Amino acid sequence: MRTLALLAALAAGLPVPAGADILVATRSVRGQTILGPGDVAVIEGDVAGTLIAPEEAIGQEARVNLYAGRPIRVTDVGPPAIIERNQIVTLRFQSGGLVIAADARALDRAGVGDALRVMNLASRNTVTGFVAPDGSVVVGASMKP
């Protein structure tokens, strides 16, 4: 299996010098799939911007389709989405003791800590905030949840 993954990396034109490790997909994985231990493997290689340990990918969601034997880049995985596109979410602004909340429509999928564009349903204005662990979207002075 290691040789097959190494050959796939070479065929893709990726540099694979000895001595370093990279993380590759063991099978084709569709985007929006949560990665498990059987979905990733470590092979020898050195490709900038790729994951190097299985712990970095296991439990994360594939943001794009992953292909067997190809390196998994840092941007290919992320926290599992808790907000779906077109879902109605609570939009919160917090500053000191002041909290303003409104309903908004999510314009994309996102996980905890991700930036997300939403449309305020009352004003029809589009704003960007960060997804909080409770599924709300925080905007304003204290944007990071």
CA distance 52 to 94: 38
pLDDT tens-digit map of 93-112: 988 889 999 999 999 999 99
**Of 90-99, 119-128, 136-145, which has the strongest mean pLDDT?**
119-128
CA distance 108 to 114: 11
Q: Residue 142: pLDDT above 70? A: no
Question: What integer pLDDT is reported at residue 64 of this predicted model?
Answer: 95
Question: What integer pLDDT is reported at residue 16 of this predicted model?
Answer: 47
Question: What integer pLDDT is reported at residue 1 of this predicted model?
Answer: 45
CA distance 134 to 58: 22
Above pLDDT 90, what percent of the chain?
Answer: 72
Token output for 31: 């985007």
Whole-model pTM?
Answer: 0.67
Q: Residue 8: pLDDT above 60? A: no
pLDDT band at 20 (very low <50, low <70, confident <90, very high): confident
For tokens 């390196």, name the residue. Answer: 71
Q: Which of 23, 109, 115 is nearest to 72 (CA)?
A: 23
